Amino acid sequence: MMVIAAGWILVLLLAGGFALDRVLTDLVEDNLDEQLDYLLTGMVASAEVGPDGEVNTYRPLGDQRFLEPNSGLYWQISGAGHEDWPSRSLWDRTLKVNPEHIDNEVHYYDSDQFPTERLRIAERTLTLPDSDTRWTFIVASAREDLDAQIGRIRAILVWSFAVLGLGLFVMAALQTFYGLRPLRRVRMAIQRIRTTGSNRVTDPLPLEVQPLVEELNLLLEHSEKQSDEARTHAGNLAHALKTPLTVLINAATARDPGLSKLVHRETRVMQRQVEHHLARARAIGRKAAGLSRAKVWPSAEAVLRAVTRLYESTRFDLAGNRNAELAIERQDLDEILGNLIENAAKYGGGSVFVTIDAEQRPNLCTIWVEDDGMGIPEEKRDEIFDRGARLDTGKPGTGLGLAIVRDVAEIYGGDVELGESEDLGGLLVKLSLPRAGTSPAN
């Protein structure tokens, strides 16, 4: 910030200094040009043509310097075919005139025709009465005093702008230092969090950085929550694996003759437990990675094609909004729909209906999965979401499907409800997930 401020100050001061230098220099030169124009007008007014065709002045010009040799103020009248008539101050010198250059108006310019003296010249060409000659009237002044004035002006400008630039840079540096001071206090507060083990920034800080502190505390809270969830899931996974491992160890120690079947059954339970926790961990990771988008219809069609191969005798119907899009990863949506549709086919009586966007809610898309099975009693609908809970133990399974559905749906801000299908008479699963472009509460 200080480097950028210093760069802009330098650029603006250089531009302003250059512009002011040109303005003041032009004012000083214009003042000298007005004096030369005054003298030139007086010289033209006093000029007349004599009997021999030569021009002369019937009265002397008022400035005494025209009579002093090499005084720095000169005049001269020149005409084609006539000798130059110079002022006495030119002594043995003459002013150069370009006969092809004609100035009907006063022309001002600088000249280096005298090696030791730079001149500022006012020149005009006109024809006098009773003469056919075009006469060039010239008044010249040495630029020494003019250049000295311009030098003094530039010196004042340089020192003034240098002091101004230094003052502005000091002010910018102080503003940067004090403006960023709250951020240094935030850094110290974060350092205290790391060294003292605190989990929040509680130091009194200026209002300017309070939103940053609030976001930082929310980030710390989110990280703490994720750590707690990770520990909880690790403990749940360890607890879920503990029982099958104990069964296997006891069977192996006792040399159970049915060890092979037991190993197959218990390892499938452990595999399903691991898959459940991995699915939840993946969902949390994908949600934290950024905004997700998934269309429901293609996902439901893909799941139905896969489930149809397993349950060829079951009739599947898909209806509803083909354009519904959810704020969820496609892989997680496939996981949820796969569990719901497979359960409906497994425990139903041969018919499964899937309706997308069944309730037309503004921020949530509701997906109904219905079957014609026995359903679930109302008093059992809450406990069926518990890991390992199964009402029909006669069919293969681990009781983790609905638990996975509920956990992943809640991660994305949705929910799952169970009811009774009015059309088929079996179980109705209402899955609600946020639409794409909405921000549901976590």
Beta bridge partners of 417: 430
SS3 (DSSP) at 418: strand
What's the whole-number average pLDDT of the chain? 82
Distance CA 36, CA 46 (A): 15
Q: Where are the alpha helices (H) located in 46-143, listed in sequence order?
A: none
Q: Which residue has the higher pLDDT, 318 or 179?
A: 318
Class of the CATH domain delimited by 294-434: alpha beta
Do 294-434 and 2-150 have the same topology in CATH? no
Cα distances (angstroms) measured from residue 340 to each of 104, 269, 285, 310, 396 = 101, 19, 23, 14, 15
Residue with tokens 């437990």: 273
- Does domain 2-150 sit in CATH 2.60.120? no
For residue range 19-65, list pLDDT tens digits in order. Answer: 999 999 999 999 999 999 999 888 888 888 877 777 777 777 777 88
pLDDT tens-digit readout, 241-281: 776 777 778 777 877 777 777 787 778 777 766 766 666 66
Least confident of 46-50, 215-219, 386-390, 430-434: 386-390
Q: Are strands 315-320 and 351-356 parallel, antiparallel or unpaired?
A: parallel
Q: What is the pLDDT of residues 150-169, one digit of tens each?
A: 999 999 999 999 999 999 99
Instruction: Provide the Cα torsion 310, 276, 242, 394; round to 10°.
Output: -30
Q: What is 144-188 written as a DSSP string? A: HHHHHHHHHHHHHHHHHHHHHHHHHHHHHHHHHHHHSHHHHHHHH
Locate the domains of the chain by residue range: 2-150, 227-289, 294-434
